[in-house]
A and B are shown apart, each in its own frame.
Chain A
Amino acid sequence: MDNQKPSKDLFVPVNREENEGEKISRPSLSFWQDSFIRLRKNMGAMIGLGILIVIAIMAIFGPYMNEYGEFDQDLSRAKMPPKVEALSWLGMDGTLSSVQTADTVEEAKQKALMRFNNQEDFIQTTVLSQGGNGEQAEVEAVYDVYAAKDMQDQPFWFGTDGLGRDLWTRTWMGTRISLYIALLAATIDMIIGVAYGGISAYYGGRVDNIMQRIIEILVGIPNLVIVILMILILEPGIISITIALTITGWIGMARIIRGQVLKLKNQEFVLASKTLGAQDNRVLRKHLVPNVLGLIIINTMFTIPNAIFFEAFLSFIGLGLPTPIASLGTLIEDGFNSLQIYPHILLFPAIVISLIMIAFNVLADGLRDAFDPKMRE
C-alpha cells in the first residue's frame, strides 16, 4: 500500500475573507415576499384571482355599459333571449327554439307556431322526424324574437327578465350587492373575531374562561336558525342580512385566533419584548397580530363565499332582499320561476355566483398553502 503523506506543496490555502460564513448568498425574503412567490406559482389560485378581478371590475362598471337601467320595466320586451352578435355560435343569437311532438308533422308544426304566438313570419320550422310507425313527428321551431319585435338594433346581451328589465345590468348590479354584503359581513366577522379571540387568549385566566363559556353556548345554536330568526325580526334588507350573517359568523375566527395566540404568547420573542418593557398594546400590535395575519386572511377568504351562499340561500326561503333590488340570490330565485321555458334568466346569475364561489375557494386554498407550507398536503 502506497500510503504516502501528501506533500504540503499540493495545498493552496483558500483566500478566506472575514465573515465569509455569515454571508447570505441569496437576497433575504420576508415572510410576505416568500408567501407571494409561492402563491404566484399556484396556477389555480392565480386563475381564481384573475376571475375575481374581472368580476369585480364588471360589478363596478358593467351596469354602465349599456343604456338600460336596473329598474327599467317594459312588458313589451319581457323575457327576451340573450343576443350578442359576436357570440351567436354559442346560442346567444336572440332566438328561442322549441321542439314539439305530435302525431303528424302538420300538427306538430301547428303546435310549434302556437308556442310562439303564431308569428309565422319570424318562425323557421325544421322537421326533425317525420313520425309514422307509431312514432311521433318532431318539429323544431326557431323564433327570432328581436326581428318579431323590430328591435334588431338594440340587443340585450343577457336577455331580459319577466318584467322586461335588462339582465346584463341587473346581473352586475346583483353581483355588486352580493359582493358588498359578503365583504361587509366578512370584515365585521374579522374585526369582532380577532378582537374577541385575541383578548380572550392574551389575557387568559378568568377573562378567557368567561369568554370561552359564552362561545360554547353560541356554538351550540345552529347558525342557520339564528340567521333565519334574525332576518324574520329585522325585516329583509342589505344591512339586516349583513347583521344576521355576522351575529354568529365571527365565532369561527375567534376560536382560530385564540388557539394561535395561546400558542404564540408563551414564545420567547414575546417574553423578550415584554422583558424590554413593551406594553400589552405594543405586544399585541407588533408581535401577535402580524403572526396571525396569515390565518386571518385565509379565514376571511373562506368567510366571503360562505356569506355569498347564505345571501342567495335566504332569497330562496323567502327572506332575501325585497323587490326590486337585484342580488345574485334574488336573480337566481327569479330565474327558477321560468326555468323550463326561459332558462337564460337563471343562467347568467348562476354562472356568476358559481364563478365567484369557485374563485374564492381556490384562491383561499392557494393562500393557505402559500402562508403555511407545513399545512400543504
Chain B
Amino acid sequence: MTRYILQRIGYMIITMFLIATFTFFLMKLLPGTPLSAADKLSEEQQAVVLEKYGLNDPVPVQYFNYMVNLTQGDLGISFQFDNREVTTIIMERIGPSMTLGVQAMVIGTILGMLLGLVSAIYHNGILDYGSTFIAVVGKSIPSFVFAGILQYFIGVKLGWFPVALWGTWAHTVLPTIALAIFPIAIAARFMRTEMLEVMGSDYITTARAKGVNKFGVVFKHGLRNALIPLITVLGPLAIGLMTGTLVIENIFAVPGIGEQFVKAINTNDFPIIMGTTLLIAFLFIFIILVIDLMYGVIDPRIRLAEGE
C-alpha cells in the first residue's frame, strides 16, 4: 500500500511539473501585452515596467526563475494589482469558493443519495419516476441556466435571498443551490443503480429470510454496500463543481477564485491566470488521488487486488 501511495504521489508531481511547464510556455505564446495602455507609454517606460516584472529576461531564464519560485510556493506578482503577490490574492479569494464548493458538495450528495434511495425502494413507482426525472433534468440543464432561474424567481420576484454579492450566509444560499443541482442529479442516478443492484443480491435475500425488517434491510445491509461505489463519483463531481464555480461566481458576483480568474483573463494578468490554472490542476489531481486511496481503504477487495 505504501509503495502504491508513493508511486501515485510521484506521478502526481510529474503531472504537476508538466502542467506548470506547459502553462508557462503557453502564456509566453499569448497575444497581447500585460501593459494596460501600451500605446500611451514610451519605449523606455515600457522597458522599465517589463524589467520590474522580469519580462526582459530570456524565456529560459524566466522559466527557471518561475519554477524555482513555484517550489517555494511563490507564484509571482500580479500585473493587475500593483505589487500584490498572486499567492496572497488567491488565498484571500479561496474562502468564498471553498464555502460554496463544500456546501454544494455536502448538500448535493446527501440530497442526491436520499433521492436515489427513495427511487430504489419504490422501484418503478411514481416516486421513482419523479426522482429519475429530477436526476435527468438536473444532469442536463447547465448550472448557469439554473442560476438564472433562481436569481430571477427567488432573488428578484420573491426577494427571499440576496440576488448577488457576498457577505452574510444568506448570500451563499442561491449560488449553493445552483451548484448543488449537478451533484444531486449525479448522486441520485448512481445511488439508484447501485441500490437496485445491491437489493437484488443474495445476502439481502438472506437478511430478509432471517426476518430482518424492511428498515434494517435497506439501511443496514443495503445502503452500506451501495455507498462504497458512490465514492468513485465524488471525484468527477468535485471537478464538475470546480467548473461550475467559475461561472456561478461570476453570475452571483462572488469574490472567489473563479471571478478573479475571469477578470485576469480579461486583463491579460498572466501570473494570476497561471497561478489559478495551477491551483485548479493541483486540486483536480489531488482529489483524484485522495479518492483512489480512500477507495482502497474502504473496500478491502480493491486493496487485495492491488497487492497481488
Binding site for B on A (CB under 8 A): 44, 217, 220-222, 224-225, 228-229, 232-233, 235, 305, 309, 312-313, 316-319, 332, 335-336, 339-340, 343, 346, 350, 353-354, 357-358, 360-362, 365, 377
Contacts and interface: CB of A to CB of B under 8 A. Distances in A.
Given A350-B148, A358-B141, A222 B246 contact: no
Nearest to B258: A317
A343 B151 CA distance: 10
Q: Which of A229, A312, A336, A361 has the most CB of B within 10 A?
A: A229
A111 B231 CA distance: 55
B151 A339 contact: yes
A287 to B, nearest CB: 32
B274 to A, nearest CB: 10
Contacts of A343: 152
B141 A221 contact: no
* Chain B, interface residues (CB within 8 Å), range: 35 or more
B284 to A, nearest CB: 4
B136 A361 contact: yes
A345 to B, nearest CB: 10
B121 interface: no
B156 interface: yes
Interface stretch (B26-34, B48-56, B74-82, B215-223): B26-34
- The SS class assigned to the B binding surface is helix
B18 interface: yes
B26 A229 contact: yes
B154 interface: no
Contacts of B273: 232
A317 B156 CA distance: 24
Identify the interface centre among B11, B142, B148: most chain A CB within 10 Å of its CB.
B142
A325 to B, nearest CB: 18
A228 B145 contact: no
Interface stretch (B83-91, B165-173, B259-267, B296-304): B259-267
Contacts of B161: none
Given A225-B280, A336-B148, 13 more contacts: A220-B12, A222-B284, A225-B277, A232-B30, A305-B140, A313-B246, A313-B247, A316-B246, A317-B246, A318-B262, A319-B265, A354-B141, A361-B139
Given A332-B145, A339-B152, A354-B141, A221 B19 contact: yes
A79 B292 CA distance: 51
Contact of B30 (A233, A317, A318): A233
Interface of A is mostly: helix
Interface of B: 11-12, 15, 18-19, 22-23, 26, 29-31, 136-137, 139-142, 144-145, 148-149, 151-152, 156, 163, 192-193, 196, 239, 242-243, 246-247, 250-251, 258, 261-262, 265-266, 273, 277, 280-281, 284-285
> Which of B18, B29, B192, B247 counts the most A-chain CB atoms under 10 A from its CB?
B247
Nearest to A328: B142
Contact of A377 (B148, B163, B196, B247): B196
A63 B298 CA distance: 56
B142 A225 contact: no
Given A220-B11, A232-B265, A354 B19 contact: no
B281 to A, nearest CB: 5
A317 B142 contact: no
A340 B15 CA distance: 44
Given A222-B281, A232-B26, A313-B243, A217 B142 contact: no
B114 to A, nearest CB: 19
Contact of A358 (B140, B144, B193): B140
Contacts, number: 115
B226 to A, nearest CB: 13
Nearest to A221: B19
Contacts of A346: 148, 152
Contact of A221 (B11, B18, B140, B192): B18
Given A222-B284, A358-B140, A353 B243 contact: no
7 contacts: A224-B239, A224-B284, A232-B30, A232-B273, A313-B142, A313-B246, A336-B144
Given A217-B18, A229-B26, A229-B277, A222 B239 contact: yes
Contact of A316 (B141, B144, B280, B281): B144
A353 B23 contact: no
Given A233-B29, A318-B266, A221 B281 contact: yes
A353 B152 contact: no
Contacts of B19: 220-221, 225
For B26, B192, B261, B285, which residue has the most chain A Cβ atoms within 10 angstroms?
B26
B41 to A, nearest CB: 23
A218 to B, nearest CB: 10
Nearest to B282: A222
A44 B251 CA distance: 32
A340 B250 contact: no
B142 A354 contact: yes
A86 B237 CA distance: 43
A312 B142 contact: yes
A353 B251 CA distance: 18
A233 B242 CA distance: 22
Given A313-B247, A350-B145, A362 B26 contact: no
Contacts of A229: 22-23, 26, 277
